[in-house]
């Protein structure tokens, strides 16, 4: 048996990590990566268990990281540290419980489901903007703007600001999602975080004086037994909603469409029966999910599959590897839109499951049938997709298509 050398930035691994994940599941499911100085978990049961163990696993992984940065470097990312430290995804109870409870008062399943008419309108508008093109970049022209426009509509910020907010979000991803770090990337991400914070600070000030019927006004005026979000918590939450709400869903839409182009019979089933969209979206999320991994820090030493996991160790739970585990999903490398069984882990599991997962599902349920109805055929063209170099995000920089109506 040869030693497994997990190199997530390797182009072949980025393009198709699943053969390596299969080997890791079989030979070394609790794998220590010297490169990442972290444990890598690839089996469904292990990943799900970690997501459900807040007493042994911590999501508070940014504060230790920020504390390790020399003070002169920390000054260069002051706004990143200020706002990302307040994101609920990086919090444990009771801080996480409080932030989730407050935001869930306004950002909940009912409010997200109420967005269906607007999602349908935005989808139709984007298809209209594509117009008579027979070739286009699906990420740039559809999968990128759709979720960003949906979140902007929920928050009540101007549609004309799409390009600016998309740019800022992409630049923030250089810090949040990149597997490589550099001072240039950090400078760009810091500037973007500062600009986005000031953007939302301006809109918060407006809503304090003149509230309107939108999610931003509800968050600004939210109160629960005297508890409110501070100004910094408001800004951090709005940045999180915009960033996470569009980055993840962009990947979901692009990965899902790529998967459909690879399985013509499944595409034909969905085209013939749009009512199966909800089930189809779940299988597309399982097959090629938008998030590669979630990260935990061990806060209580324990043993896992014969390996000693020590307090302070970092663990990557590989969501997409778990979603291809044959012990959980029969014939896992086949897309089967009629698949039934255990839930996938594309959005995580437990208390840290993605807050906006109902919205991401809904956008897919609207978008995929609309695309298949609008275009008689959809095919990829040109070189193989260039995948984002990230452990956190699973997505493509572009997806070039040719279409026929």
pLDDT digits (tens, 9 = 90+) for 300-311: 999 999 999 999
Determine contact, residues 371/399, Cβ cutoff 8 Å.
Answer: no
Q: What mean pLDDT do residues 244-272 have? A: 95
Q: Answer whether residue 4 is part of any domain.
A: no
Q: pLDDT tier at 178 (50, 70, 90 boundaries)? A: low
Give the domain extent around 240.
Answer: 11-404
Rounded to 5°, the CA angle 256-335-17 comes to 70
**What pLDDT, on a 0 to 100 scale, did the predictor assign at position 257?**
98
Greatest mean pLDDT range, 7-16, 103-112, 221-230, 321-330: 321-330
**What pLDDT, on a 0 to 100 scale, did the predictor assign at position 180?**
47
Q: Closest Cα partner for 233 from 103, 354, 74? A: 103
Q: Answer whether residue 390 is part of any domain.
A: yes
Q: Answer whether residue 331 is part of any domain.
A: yes
Q: What distance in Å separates the CA atoms of residue 283 and residue 261, rounded to the nearest whole number?
A: 14
Q: Answer whether residue 6 is part of any domain.
A: no
Determine which of 63-72, 134-143, 313-322, 390-399 has the lowest per-residue pLDDT on average: 63-72
Looking only at the bridges linking them, the beta strands covering 302-304 and 307-309 are antiparallel
Q: What distance in Å separates the CA atoms of residue 321 and residue 293, rounded to the nearest whole number?
A: 9
Q: Answer whether residue 204 is part of any domain.
A: yes
Q: pLDDT tier at 179 (50, 70, 90 boundaries)? A: very low
Residue 255 burial (CB < 10 Å; 0-12/13-18/19+)?
A: buried
Residue 114 burial (CB < 10 Å; 0-12/13-18/19+)?
A: exposed
Q: pLDDT tier at 245 (50, 70, 90 boundaries)? A: confident
**What pLDDT, on a 0 to 100 scale, did the predictor assign at position 183?**
60
Kindly state the DSSP code that residue 90 receives in the 8-state scheme.
Answer: G
Other CB atoms within 10 Å distance of the CB of residue 304: 17
Q: Answer whether residue 120 is part of any domain.
A: yes
Q: Answer whether residue 312 is part of any domain.
A: yes
CATH number of the CATH domain containing 345: 1.10.630.10
Structurally, how many domains does the chain consist of? 1
**C-alpha count within 13 angstroms, C-beta hemisphere, residue 272:** 7
Q: Over the stretch 31-46, which tens digit does the pLDDT of each residue have? A: 999 999 999 999 999 9
**What pLDDT, on a 0 to 100 scale, did the predictor assign at position 182?**
52
**What pLDDT, on a 0 to 100 scale, did the predictor assign at position 297?**
93
Q: What distance in Å separates the CA atoms of residue 21 and residue 4, rounded to the nearest whole number?
A: 10
Q: Closest Cα partner for 62 from 89, 40, 39, 38? A: 89
Determine contact, residues 254/104, Cβ cutoff 8 Å.
Answer: no
Determine contact, residues 80/175, Cβ cutoff 8 Å.
Answer: yes
Q: Answer whether residue 32 is part of any domain.
A: yes
**What pLDDT, on a 0 to 100 scale, did the predictor assign at position 350?**
83
């Amino acid at each position: 048996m040869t030693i497994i050398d997990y190199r997530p930035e390797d182009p072949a691994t980025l393009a198709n990590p699943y053969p390596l994940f299969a080997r890791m599941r079989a030979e070394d499911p609790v794998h220590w990566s010297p490169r990442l100085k972290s444990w890598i978990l690839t089996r469904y049961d292990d990943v799900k268990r970690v997501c459900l163990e807040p007493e042994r696993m911590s999501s508070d992984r940014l504060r230790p990281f920020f504390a390790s940065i020399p003070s002169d470097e920390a000054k260069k990312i002051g706004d990143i540290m200020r706002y990302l430290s307040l994101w609920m995804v990086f919090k444990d109870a009771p801080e996480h419980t409080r932030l989730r409870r407050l935001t869930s008062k306004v950002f909940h399943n009912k409010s997200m489901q109420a967005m269906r008419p607007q999602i349908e309108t935005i989808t139709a508008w984007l298809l209209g903007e594509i117009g008579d093109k027979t070739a286009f970049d699906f990420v740039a022209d559809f999968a990128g703007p759709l979720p960003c426009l949906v979140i902007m509509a929920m928050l009540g910020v101007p549609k004309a600001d799409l390009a600016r907010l998309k740019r800022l979000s992409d630049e923030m991803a250089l810090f949040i999602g990149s597997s490589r770090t550099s001072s240039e990337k950090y400078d760009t991400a810091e500037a973007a975080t500062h600009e986005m914070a000031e953007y939302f600070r301006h809109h918060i000030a407006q809503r304090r004086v003149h509230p309107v019927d939108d999610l931003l006004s509800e968050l600004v005026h939210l109160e629960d037994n005297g508890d409110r979000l501070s100004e910094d918590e408001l800004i951090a939450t709005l940045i999180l909603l915009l960033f996470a709400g569009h980055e993840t869903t962009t990947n979901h839409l692009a990965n899902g469409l790529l998967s459909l182009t690879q399985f013509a019979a499944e595409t034909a089933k969905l085209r013939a029966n749009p009512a199966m969209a909800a089930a189809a979206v779940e299988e597309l999320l399982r097959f090629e999910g938008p998030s590669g991994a979630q990260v935990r820090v061990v806060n209580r030493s324990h043993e896992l599959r014969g390996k000693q996991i020590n307090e302070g160790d970092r663990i990557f739970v590989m969501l997409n590897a778990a979603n291809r585990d044959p012990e959980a999903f029969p014939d896992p490398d086949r897309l089967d839109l009629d698949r039934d069984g255990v839930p996938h882990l594309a959005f995580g599991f437990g208390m840290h499951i993605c807050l906006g997962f109902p919205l991401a599902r809904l956008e897919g349920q609207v978008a995929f049938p609309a695309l298949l109805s609008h275009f008689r055929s959809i095919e990829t063209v040109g070189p193989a997709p260039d995948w984002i170099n990230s452990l956190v995000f699973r997505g493509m920089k572009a997806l070039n298509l040719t279409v026929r109506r």
